[in-house]
C-alpha cells in the first residue's frame, strides 16, 4: 500500500476518533461538578510540562535567552487579551464565550492541519513510524477533543 493511502486512512481514523466529544454530551451533568478540578489539572499539566520539561531543555540547548522569550510571550499575550478585550465571565449569555469558541475553532483547524502533516511525514518515512505517530496522535486527540467539545457546548448553547 502506498504511503499516501496509508496516511489518508490514518487521518480518517483520527478524524473519526475526534468525534468522541459527542459521546460525552449525555454525561455532561455528571461531570459538571468535576469540571473545575479537570480544568485546574489540565492547566497545571500544561504549565508543569512547559516549566519542568520544555524550558529547561531549551535552556540547555540555547542559553540564557529562553526565559526572556517566555516572559515576552506571557506579556505579549496578556497585552493581546487586553487590547482585544477578551474577558472571562460566569454568566450564561455572556458575549465573551463566543470569542472563546471562535478562537478554539481556529486553533483546532491549525492543530488538525499539523496533525495531518505529521501523519503524512511519518508514513513517508516508513509504515511502523506512521502507525506509531498515528497512535500517539489518537491518544492525545481524545482528551483534546473532549475539551474542545466542552468549550463549544459552553459557547454556543
Question: Do residue 60 and residue 113 come from a single domain?
Answer: no
Cell of 154: 459552553
The pLDDT score that the predictor gives to residue 58 is 81
Question: Do residue 73 and residue 115 come from a single domain?
Answer: no
Task: Tell me if 17 is assigned to some domain.
Answer: no
Which positions ≥6 away from 138 have C-beta within 8 Å?
A: 13, 14, 17
Task: Tell me if 96 is assigned to some domain.
Answer: yes
| Residue 64 domain boundaries | 35-85
Question: Do residue 107 and residue 140 come from a single domain?
Answer: yes
CA–CA dist 147, 112 (Å, integer): 15
Cell of 12: 480518517
CA dihedral angle for residue 22, residue 26, residue 28, residue 33, rounded to 10 degrees: -150
Q: What is the pLDDT of residues 27-40, one digit of tens each?
A: 666 666 666 666 67
Count of other CB atoms within 10 angstroms of residue 117: 11
The pLDDT score that the predictor gives to residue 29 is 66
Give the chain's domain count: 2
CA–CA dist 151, 24 (Å, integer): 12
Question: Do residue 81 and residue 104 come from a single domain?
Answer: no
The pLDDT score that the predictor gives to residue 89 is 64
Question: Do residue 116 and residue 76 come from a single domain?
Answer: no
Q: Which residues in the chain show pLDDT less than 50?
A: none
The pLDDT score that the predictor gives to residue 112 is 86
Question: Do residue 45 and residue 70 come from a single domain?
Answer: yes
The pLDDT score that the predictor gives to residue 122 is 92
Amino acid at each position: 500500500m502506498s504511503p499516501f493511502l496509508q496516511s489518508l486512512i490514518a487521518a480518517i481514523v483520527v478524524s473519526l476518533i475526534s468525534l468522541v466529544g459527542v459521546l460525552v454530551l449525555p454525561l455532561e451533568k455528571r461531570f459538571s461538578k468535576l469540571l473545575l478540578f479537570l480544568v485546574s489539572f489540565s492547566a497545571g499539566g500544561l504549565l508543569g510540562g512547559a516549566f519542568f520539561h520544555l524550558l529547561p531543555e531549551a535552556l540547555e540547548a540555547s542559553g540564557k535567552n529562553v526565559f526572556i522569550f517566555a516572559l515576552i510571550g506571557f506579556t505579549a499575550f496578556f497585552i493581546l487579551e487586553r487590547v482585544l478585550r477578551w474577558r472571562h465571565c460566569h454568566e450564561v449569555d455572556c458575549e465573551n464565550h463566543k470569542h472563546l469558541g471562535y478562537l478554539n475553532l481556529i486553533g483546532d483547524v491549525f492543530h488538525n492541519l499539523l496533525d495531518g502533516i505529521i501523519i503524512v511525514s511519518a508514513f513517508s518515512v516508513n509504515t511502523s513510524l506512521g502507525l506509531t505517530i498515528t497512535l500517539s496522535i489518537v491518544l492525545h486527540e481524545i482528551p483534546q477533543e473532549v475539551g474542545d467539545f466542552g468549550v463549544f457546548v459552553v459557547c454556543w448553547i
